[in-house]
Amino acid sequence: MLEKMWPDTRHLRPFPHTMRSILILTLLVSHCLVQAGTFTGRVVHVTDGDTLVVVDANYTRHSIRMLGIAAPVYGQPFAAQSKERLAVAVAGKFVVVEYKGRDREERILGKVLLGHQDMNLEQVRAGLAWHEFRHQYQQSRIDREKYAQAEREARRYKRGFWAAAARGRREAAAKGPEDSQTLPYKPGTKQRR
């Protein structure tokens, strides 16, 4: 008889799997929001033409992978020139890093600003880095357009490694980040590295 006097409220209680879904969604959204931001620090090391180490105000070292570009790596033509140009520009200086997340090696993916100068864009403009499309979804539309335009101009005016390609020095001209970073073996061989 008491059951008839009180309304049935079981349908008002949330299901456990619904609560779990809401909690997981909240955690994912908050994790994504934490992944983007800005910090200032001093450049203490330049690893190569698209990677550097920055120490922030709390003396925390951050490995930064420059977002939207790929520079030649050790062993590729123009790797030393790319690294040298970046080192001359930023080593020992304070930079602002606008970051968008991390790569598979847990490096921060970010845009490095020296004053108001976008150093990622400057590497592409100098013909010492390619505009990389792997993380382009993390770039703004404006940055994607600027970087693509800078690469087209570097090719057109034969800057950096594009000059070697224009002179027909095939072995000296870097072909792109796929040459060594994505291939599991050296081109022309069946043997893995």
Which of 115, 132, 127, 15 is CA-nearest to residue 82? 127
Q: If you average pLDDT over every residue of the chain, what do you get?
A: 81
**What average pLDDT does range 97-111 have in this prediction?**
95
- pLDDT, tens only, 6-37: 666 565 555 555 656 665 655 554 444 446 89
- H-type helices in 66-182, by residue range? 79-90, 119-125, 141-156, 161-166
At residue 183, the pLDDT reads: 36
**What average pLDDT does range 164-185 have in this prediction?**
53
CB neighbour class for 81 (10 Å; exposed up to 12, middle 13-18, buried from 19):
middle
Q: Taking a C-beta distance cutoff of 8 angstroms, is the pair 64, 74 a contact?
A: no
At residue 16, the pLDDT reads: 56
At residue 187, the pLDDT reads: 39
Does the pLDDT value for residue 130 go beyond 60?
yes
Does the pLDDT value for residue 71 go beyond 50?
yes
Does the pLDDT value for residue 38 go beyond 50?
yes
- pLDDT, tens only, 114-123: 999 999 999 9
pTM: 0.72
Does the pLDDT value for residue 153 go beyond 90?
yes
At residue 190, the pLDDT reads: 41
> Where are the chain's structural domains?
35-174
Q: Taking a C-beta distance cutoff of 8 angstroms, is the pair 178, 185 a contact?
A: no
At residue 175, the pLDDT reads: 56
At residue 184, the pLDDT reads: 35
- As a whole-number percent, the residues of the chain with pLDDT over 90 amount to 62
* 25 compared with 73, residue with greater pLDDT: 73
- CATH code 2.40.50.90 for 35-174: yes
Residues 6+ apart with CB under 8 A from 16: none
